[in-house]
Amino acid sequence: MSEDFGRIPSSDLIAVATIIVGFGVTVIMFRVQRELWVRDKHPDWPNWLAWADWLILVSVALAVFFVVTPLLAFPIVTKWREALAAGSSVSAILLQVGYIPAILAHYRIEVGTQRTGAREKGRARRKVFLHAVLRTRLPRVRFCLLPTPDVVAKAH
């Protein structure tokens, strides 16, 4: 069996990261545009980024700083860098998937419809959801850095 079996080429990881960044930038631009519209139409209403938006911002940061930068900035791509990039890509994708229920809860569309009254910045449930998603996704990066059984066998 080839040593490269199951490895994702660096070019594919960079392509995935650029899709993540492109989607993230689009979402954030939409959210900023909406907040600016709210500011114009309702100057007395508060403006803020929803907790869900932080999922997108973190996913973009993961894609840029842990996928694209390590793979393009250094001339030699090691297995460790590829593992970091793969784990970061998966984490970024899952953070963006977590954005869907988080933003639905923010706008009270299907999720969170039982709440009434004005939305508040930084509601406790949203913070808990954000922290739960971050805590379950970021360890995946560490998991991808663990040695495979064949590497451990060769070391002994």
Residue-wise pLDDT for 116-125, tens only, equals: 666 566 555 5
What pTM value is reported for the model?
0.72
> How many separate domains does the chain show?
1
Structure tokens at 76: 């030699």
Nearest to 19, CA basis, from 85, 98, 71, 93? 93
Model pLDDT for residues 50-103, shown as the tens digit of each residue: 888 999 999 999 999 999 999 999 888 888 888 899 999 999 999 999 899 888
pLDDT at position 60: 97
Do residues 91 and 137 touch, judged by C-beta distance below 8 A?
yes
Residue 50 belongs to domain spanning? 10-150
Q: What is the mean pLDDT of residues 12-36?
A: 94
* Inside any domain, residue 111: yes
* Inside any domain, residue 68: yes
- Is the pLDDT at 4 greater than 60? The verdict is yes
* Inside any domain, residue 5: no
